[in-house]
Amino acid sequence: MSAPMWMAGRTGHARRGALEHRFSYGVDYVWLDPEAPGPFPALFGRNRFNLAAIHDRDYGFGDTTGAKWARKAAHEMGFDDAGHAPLRLLTAPRLLGLGFNPVSFWVFMGEGARPVAAIAEVNNTFGDRHAYFCHAPGFAPLT
């Protein structure tokens, strides 16, 4: 995988109960190798301003950011192959330096380029961030 792939998506939320609330809107995502040194398409930036860009500091917790954080977190959550499995990131890039990224998926690939584990990194408008580790028993391919 070389250049990031652009993907159009939708995100939404629904709250039930006394205060019902619901929304749904379009989101632009990119699917990329977060450790690739480049080169990147002319209008895409990595750790620098561009029309669309991703910045390692936007991901992870504490002192560890980006792919280093994802690999460390997956290893701590029991994925022994986290240090060397191919890693991909599905994320909403900043557009003209601005953006809100509700969820990013760090996807670890196994044999045949099939996903075997993922971390869903969830952000809200209050600045909270949570990570959820997902895998099938025995790290079988995710379907």
Q: Pick the residue with more confidence: 69 or 100?
A: 69
- Give the pLDDT score at 82: 85
Would you state the pLDDT for residue 80? Answer: 86
Q: What is the mean pLDDT of residues 123-142?
A: 86
pLDDT digits (tens, 9 = 90+) for 15-55: 898 989 898 988 899 999 999 888 888 999 998 999 999 99
Query: Within its chain, how far is the Cα of 142 from the centroid?
Result: 16
Residue 1 confidence class, pLDDT cut points 50, 70, 90? low
Nearest in space to 36 (alpha carbons), one of 15, 49, 9, 54: 54
* pLDDT(96) > 90: yes
HSE on the CB side for 58, CA within 13 Å? 23
| Per-residue pLDDT, 116 | 93
Q: Which of 47, 50, 43 is nearest to 34 (CA)?
A: 47
**Percent of the chain residues past pLDDT 70, beyond the cut:** 98
H-state helical runs in the chain: 66-76
Supply the pTM of this predicted model. 0.86
Work out the widest C-alpha separation in the chain, in whole angstroms.
51
Q: How far apart are CA 131 and CA 120, in angstroms?
A: 6
**Taking a C-beta distance cutoff of 8 angstroms, is the pair 129, 119 a contact?**
no
Give the model confidence (pLDDT) of 108-126 as tens digits: 998 888 999 999 999 888 8
Mean of pLDDT values over 95-104: 88
Q: pLDDT averaged over the chain?
A: 89
